[in-house]
Amino acid sequence: MPDSPRSLDEPKGFSRRSFIKTVGVSATVSTLSGIAEAAAIEHERAEETPVLGPGPVPIRFTVNGKAAQVKVEPSTTLLEALRLHLNMTGSKLICDRGSCGGCSVIIDGKIMNACMTLAIDAMGAKITTVEGLAKDGQLDPVQVSFVRHDALQCGYCTPGFVVATRVLLNDIPKPTLDQIKHALGGNICRCGTYTNIFNAALEASGQSPIMDQKGVTA
Amino acid sequence: MKIDTAPTLNGTSSIPFDMPTTNRPMNLGQSMNDNASRLDGIAKVTGAAKYSSDMLLPGAVFIRFVRCPFGAANLESVDDSAARKVPGVLDIDIQMKECQYNGQPVGHVVGDSPAAAARALAALKLTWKRLPVKTLITDSITKAPEPTEETKKLMAGAALSHDAVYSTPVQTHSSLEPHGGVVDHKGDKATVYASTQGTFSVRDGMGDVLGLKASEFEVICEYVGGGFGSKLGGPGKELTLAAKISKKLNRPAYLVCNRAEEHLDTGNRPSSRTVIRLAFEKDGTITGGEIRTFGGVGVAGGGGGVAIPSGRYNLGNVDKKHEDVKFNAGGPRPFRAPGHPQATFAEELMLDEIAAKAGINPLELRRKLFKDDVYKEMLEVGSKLIGWKDRKANGSQTSVMRTGFGIGAGGWGSASPGGNAEVVIHQDGSVESRTGTQDIGTGQRTTMAICTADSIGIPLSLVTVQIGRSTLPPGPGSGGSVTSPTTAPTMMAAAADAKAKLFEVLAKEAGANAADFSVKDGAVLRGGKQFLTWKDACSKLTADGVKGSASTGDGGKGASQGVQFVRIDVDTETGVIYPRHVIAIQSCGRVICRKTAESQIIGGVIQGLSFGLFENRILDRNVGAMVNPNFEFYKILGPNDMPHIEPVLWWHGQTGVKALGEPPSVPTAAALGCALFNAIGRPVRHMPLTPDKVLMAWEGAVA
């Protein structure tokens, strides 16, 4: 198995091509009709790049500030690499097709579904999972607000929502309620904690929670 | 006031237990604890909480069911030669049989990784002969049954009458943590990590499969990722198979369903069809009639009941008959208030249609028909909060966006099957509450701590809780909203017992009567005067501390009631419904933890909205396979669909802890249906209330 340092340190140019390579270049050419030229270039590049897979290949990335390495097949998702190979089970496997947000992680500053990302595509990336949000023993303000506003019930969707809220506040420090709803729109909670999640996001960004109507007492 | 702090994260950071939130001023009654946050909150927001599906043990094998891809088919041949050659495959077993629903298991494959099991599954060559399928209630019940002669006579002689059919689709539980878990059989002992609503029902169902006595294995479910009724009733086929494989291969066996399997074969809320024929007078007085209900139970023998008439309204003399209808689909399991949301949809929309025919405001009609004064009081409060005075007459608006208001009511009887609890007061002043009952997200862990702290009179920070283990004192399954009504009084009694034992120790040492002692605000008093701090008092104990225990038996606790108001906007060009505001008033007896109680209500409303607007298990009518076994096309209400929801805890001098889990999910979809009728002037009697149905009704309205 080739284990070239060049390919390991070159995440961007490496991932897609090598993955396609593992599936088989001929299959790629036959399915992507009308791009024979691109396929030829692809083939040429594949010639120069060491073949990785289909067996396990070493993949290095940074998870929560620490260097991590897994040896997995190129078809392994980042979520499986985290859960099964690094035993970081905070990110959850719920829908396995990017429709619930339960596996949300931060890859190089962007929120991604770990179930829809191949581990090999995250090669060399800086990954933050829910386990990495608390720093030096201090909870992230988002986490404190989630607890205070009871923005969780069974808690299975919670890591995804916490991560998504963190990314939102990184991008928009004081989001409106509509911006919060939009940013969390890729996440699903079955217990029904959205109201409290909105309040937690508002509070964590230094804003007032949604107020109830006043003037009538039960 | 001393800040009560939660257990620390890595020993350095702490967040206060005492975390007031000020945004719900309407809940003016007194809960046992207004400000406490969930005890397991930190574990859940940091990813530290280990669910059964997170138990990826070293050396584990991974199991997948082999399932029928059609609604009905005969498995005619199996070629597993390629599957057996897949690297990492450890076991394949397939039974030739005739299947009656999509997702029915015919066997399993086992691999040493999830990928190996998945590849083996893909490499199996199975030949199926498809059989004819039925997929809906209406495949068997092709038209509404004829009314009885008596009903015909009643309707003919009445001033007004109502004759209509209502229906609701199959709703799947869609717990985010799938069914299953991990079994680690070690020969003479075993550990079962179960995702269950009944720790002790799993224990009772596991012994034979494991070949062990109950004392030789432990069932653990520290955290459960939702259940809503579908994880009741023992180990289920998932843990049963995992136990067999773990025993056979002598390795930990991991079996957790995927999302498609969850939709197909882990229960659902059965579909319903309700035929209503009622006679009524011009003032809205309902004289009676008949109601025929049908429950779509798939391949199950029953469980499709539709709880109409609910008994909340005076409907005169109603002749009710129910029939369960079978077809080719996975069977139902209890789902948060079984039989109620679907029945309430029919009942409430029927009332609004009757009100419209009689020319009465729906609020007025309910004032007249409610039997119980509690509901009437809730009507008055809720109608003010939602702004009912702004409601326009049905179908009277002319703008593209039209506003609608709706009302729904729900009730739930509380019960207590009995349970056991222990409380240990340690020498260092810490207190441990122990009961085996699980926390499925309701807040059981937190309420047990609050009950203990409140019963003894100490700060919450001194209490730790052990739950979700079969080796702890047995408690009830989390079904029927019985958990808190059972475990709260039991835990309080156990705490009182432990406190009494502490007083005996203090009395002996001080040469006093145990009855002279009391605890207030974390200090021990003697004769009403400060005697010792709590810590100093506990230091008089031996290293074992003192253990209090309590058991409670069966008991009813009376009913919980709720009324909800919904305001929506409807876009008459697209048919899209936008829920804007929900007022959810709910009685539940004494509130233990305000925040988790509010969360139960908000969650019930959200599930009700999701049921009313989106959810629908759709089966292909030709092959009987589910066409939307996922979360893209089986739509669940998401953040973007959210209205403003206000939970109102109704604390009118009620004592005792009553049901809260189920009742708030009952009225919402019904109130939504009523609001739509109000907005567009035509009823949509068949859920989910999707844009196509809204537009069809709308075109009828303007035609």
- C-alpha to C-alpha distance for A142 and B412, rounded to whole angstroms: 36
Mean pLDDT of B98-112: 98
Interface residue of B13, B176, B651 to substitute, partner A, most A CBs within 10 Å: B176
A190 CB neighbours in chain B (<8 A) are 174-176, 226, 228, 607, 636
Residue of A143, A154, A199 lying closest to B224 (CB–CB): A154
Give CA A104 to chain center in angstroms. 4
The answer to whether the Cβ–Cβ distance between A102 and B56 falls below 8 Å is: no
B649: which strand partners?
Answer: B586
pLDDT (0 to 100) of residue A22? 42
Among B558, B553, B561, smallest CA distance to B657 is for B558
pLDDT > 50? residue A155: yes
| Collapsed DSSP state (helix, strand, coil) of residue B83 | helix
The answer to whether the Cβ–Cβ distance between B384 and A216 falls below 8 Å is: yes
pLDDT (tens digit, 9 = 90+) per residue, B115-154?
A: 999 999 999 999 999 999 999 999 999 888 999 999 999 9
> CB–CB of B526/B458 below 8 Å?
no
For the beta carbon of residue B335, count every other beta carbon within 10 angstroms.
27
The answer to whether the Cβ–Cβ distance between A218 and B645 falls below 8 Å is: no
Residue of A80, A188, A211 lying closest to B114 (CB–CB): A80
A97 CB neighbours in chain B (<8 A) are 259, 630-632
> CB–CB of B605/B445 below 8 Å?
no
Q: Which residues contact B538 (CB under 8 A, 6 or more apart)?
A: B425, B426, B427, B428, B429, B502, B545
State how far residue B380 is from chain A, nearest Cα, in angstroms: 10
Look up residue A82 and give its DSSP letter: I
B557: confidence class by pLDDT, cuts 50, 70, 90: low
- C-alpha to C-alpha distance for B618 and B341, rounded to whole angstroms: 19
pLDDT (0 to 100) of residue B11? 40
Kindly give the pairing relationship between strand B160-168 and strand B271-280. Answer: antiparallel
| Dihedral, B202, B207, B211, B216 alpha carbons, nearest 10 | 100
| Collapsed DSSP state (helix, strand, coil) of residue B119 | helix
Opening angle at CA B119, ends B115 and B125, nearest 5: 160
The answer to whether the Cβ–Cβ distance between A158 and B38 falls below 8 Å is: no
Look up residue B462 and give its DSSP letter: G
B587 CB neighbours in chain A (<8 A) are none
> CB–CB of B235/B246 below 8 Å?
no
Q: In this complex, is the C-beta atom of A29 within 8 Å of any C-beta atom belonging to chain B?
A: no
- C-alpha to C-alpha distance for B316 and B314, rounded to whole angstroms: 6
Q: In this complex, is the C-beta atom of A111 within 8 Å of any C-beta atom belonging to chain B?
A: no
Q: Is the dihedral of CA A41, A44, A46, A50 positive or negative?
A: negative
Tell me which of B288 and A51 has the higher pLDDT: B288
Q: In this complex, is the C-beta atom of A211 within 8 Å of any C-beta atom belonging to chain B?
A: yes
B443 CB neighbours in chain A (<8 A) are 153
pLDDT (tens digit, 9 = 90+) per residue, B289-318?
A: 999 999 999 999 999 999 999 999 999 999
Q: In this complex, is the C-beta atom of A100 within 8 Å of any C-beta atom belonging to chain B?
A: yes
pLDDT > 70? residue A37: no
pLDDT (tens digit, 9 = 90+) per residue, B155-180?
A: 999 999 999 999 999 999 999 999 99
Residue B48 tokens, joined:
């530290």
Of A128-132, B23-27, B366-370, B660-664, the one with minimum mean pLDDT is B23-27
A215: confidence class by pLDDT, cuts 50, 70, 90: very low
> CB–CB of B57/B251 below 8 Å?
no
Tell me which of B365 and B25 has the higher pLDDT: B365
pLDDT (0 to 100) of residue B556? 64
Residue of B nearest to A95 (CA): B259
The answer to whether the Cβ–Cβ distance between A148 and B37 falls below 8 Å is: yes
State how far residue A155 is from chain B, nearest Cα, in angstroms: 6
The answer to whether the Cβ–Cβ distance between A193 and B599 falls below 8 Å is: yes
Alpha helix ranges (H) inside B359-477: 362-369, 373-386, 444-456
Q: Which residues contact B612 (CB under 8 A, 6 or more apart)?
A: B345, B668, B669, B670, B672, B673, B687, B688, B689
Residue of A149, A162, A217 lying closest to B21 (CB–CB): A149
Residue B99 tokens, joined:
């299947």
Average pLDDT, chain A: 84
State how far residue A95 is from chain B, nearest Cα, in angstroms: 5
State how far residue A41 is from chain B, nearest Cα, in angstroms: 32
Interface residue of A87, A118, A142, A156 to substitute, partner B, most B CBs within 10 Å: A156
pTM of the predicted model as reported, rounded to 2 decimal places: 0.93
